[in-house]
Homo-oligomer: A and B are copies of this chain.
Amino acid sequence: MSQSVVIDEPELRHECGVCGVFGHAEAANLTYLGLYAQQHRGQEAAGVTSCDGTLFHTHRGMGRVADVFGPQDIARLEGEHAIGHVRYSTSGASIERNAQPLVIDYQHGGLAMAHNGNLVNAAHLRRYLERQGSIFQTDMDTEVIIHLVARAPGASVEDRLARALREVKGAYTLVALTESRLLGVRDPLGFRPLVLGVIDGAYVLASETCALDLIGADFIRDISPGEMVVISDAGIESYFPFEAQPRRMCVFEYMYFARPDSTLDGINVYQARKAIGRELAREHPVEADVVVPVPDSGVAAAMGYAEESGLPLELGLIRNHYVGRTFIEPQQEIRHFGVKVKLNAVTSVLKGRRVILVDDSIVRGTTSAKIVGMVKASGASEVHMRISAPPTIGPCHYGIDTPDRDQLIAANRTLEGIRDNLGCESLGYLTLEGLYRGMGGRGPGYCDACFSDDYPVTPEEGTPQMSLLREDA
């Protein structure tokens, strides 16, 4: 029978986005807009918690920001302070229970938290906490952090939060809200971005600058790795409660996740992608007629490649931006539609041409193979695949939803084997050196574990199942 098919999820890699506003009459509405601008960081669920100084008001739901919130939902989120969260799309059933912000009562009052990242010792901490009598109602790392906060000694919430975070390992960018404070923290290695802005005298925290742009807030600065900012009626204070470590910001934020118009830790995403594309052209030139990006993520790198190579850029693949999360596949169809629903080839651009296809990465290889096939079917005489990143050989343990190593084609095949699999004439990956040349140098410190196998924080071994609980979509 006909069935609904999830579109091309295996190749998607999402994570989360956060936002917070302190001291604005329309805190919830601005937070909602901040999430709206950061929708690309997670489409599974969205939520906002506001605080009116005493009570915490929460609205969360499955789906995109525009679907989860109506005007009345915003109106009910009273108070001048708010935080919000967009959540990434997991495989399988979506889980309402895991929507954020997480909001609790504890001995010091109310506390709301939204978190982007992944802890590598969450299961260990969870078992430890359970032995102390803690109960868990979700699968989220955030619940682990909140339990640690609730048990931490300390006179202030910032002190308790700092003590709690000294126990955790991994990646976390988080915003938290109490009756009187908005806190923002970036882990010591600074895996995920966090920026500070101001609008009408009210401070704003967000994962990316594009959120500030939408609400009209002025960018103040990036929150530093290892920094905790505490925003209250008294203004903003900055702490560095962790042992200082070299920054290891996720380089893939620039290459794939972040919106091109965002500027993270001083580097504009679009410019970085173009520069990387230029490096790719230098490392892997090839005689060809035309440079064609795999839209949307490959466009900027392809522009850089075309510029550097002097070859013309053509939009030989067109993306259908109206696709939903799923479509209904015909029964007798054995070929997967996944790619065709999203991309279509422009025959007049491709026919008889030697095509350089530029994409940002190859994960399992199945989607790339279909794209190469589609381009060839449109008459391309040669297809030269160019990837604006090194081979993806390891999974991410710091918040990106990647498949296991045994499903990563580059971890399991030679370059020639991958090329064979894709069915293209040549294949070139950017080197790590080329990548960093494009990024303007390794200097600032990046995590590139998925390319280099150099994991800044060792993941916990043999982690058992986190939770026995399953909830209906």
* Chain A contact residues, CB within 8 Å of chain B: 1-4, 25-26, 29-30, 32-33, 36-37, 39-40, 43, 54-59, 64-67, 69-71, 73-76, 102-107, 109-111, 126-127, 130-137, 146-147, 150-151, 179, 210, 213-216, 259-261, 263, 268, 270-271, 296, 299-300, 303, 307, 312-315, 318, 320-332, 335, 337, 340-341, 344-349, 466-472
**Chain B nearest CB, measured from A131 CB (Å):** 5
A110-B43 contact, Cβ under 8 Å, with A134-B134, A332-B26: no
A326-B131 contact, Cβ under 8 Å, with A213-B340, A346-B268: no
Q: Report whether B29 and A341 are in contact in the complex, using a CB–CB cutoff of 8 Å.
A: no
> Contact partner of A57 among B3, B179, B470, CB < 8 A?
B470
Q: Report whether B344 and A469 are in contact in the complex, using a CB–CB cutoff of 8 Å.
A: no
A312-B307 contact, Cβ under 8 Å, with A104-B136, A110-B469, A472-B59: yes
Chain B contacts of A4 at CB under 8 A? Answer: 70-71
A330-B30 contact, Cβ under 8 Å, with A315-B299, A344-B210: yes
Which 4 residue pairs spanning A and B have beta carbons closest together? A66-B324, A133-B151, A39-B322, A110-B468
Given contacts A29-B331, A39-B322, A107-B127, 4 further A-B contacts (CB under 8 A): A3-B71, A54-B468, A134-B134, A210-B318
Q: Report whether B270 and A471 are in contact in the complex, using a CB–CB cutoff of 8 Å.
A: no
> Contact partner of A341 among B214, B259, B326, CB < 8 A?
B214
Main secondary structure of the interface of A (DSSP, over half): mixed
Closest to A32 in B: B328
A1-B75 contact, Cβ under 8 Å, with A132-B133, A150-B134: yes
Q: Report whether A347 and B268 are in contact in the complex, using a CB–CB cutoff of 8 Å.
A: yes
Closest to A331 in B: B26
CA distance A150 to B130 in the complex (A): 8
Chain B contacts of A37 at CB under 8 A? Answer: 320, 341, 344
**Chain B nearest CB, measured from A329 CB (Å):** 8
**Chain B nearest CB, measured from A379 CB (Å):** 13
CA distance A333 to B469 in the complex (A): 29
**Chain B nearest CB, measured from A214 CB (Å):** 6
Chain B contacts of A33 at CB under 8 A? Answer: 327-328, 330, 337, 341
Q: Report whether A135 and B130 are in contact in the complex, using a CB–CB cutoff of 8 Å.
A: no
CA distance A345 to B331 in the complex (A): 44
Q: Report whether B147 and A315 are in contact in the complex, using a CB–CB cutoff of 8 Å.
A: no
Q: Report whether A344 and B261 are in contact in the complex, using a CB–CB cutoff of 8 Å.
A: yes
Closest to A269 in B: B346
Closest to A128 in B: B107
CA distance A43 to B321 in the complex (A): 12
**Chain B nearest CB, measured from A143 CB (Å):** 8
Q: List 11 A-B contacts (CB under 8 A).
A: A25-B331, A26-B332, A39-B323, A40-B321, A66-B324, A214-B337, A260-B315, A261-B345, A263-B347, A268-B347, A270-B318
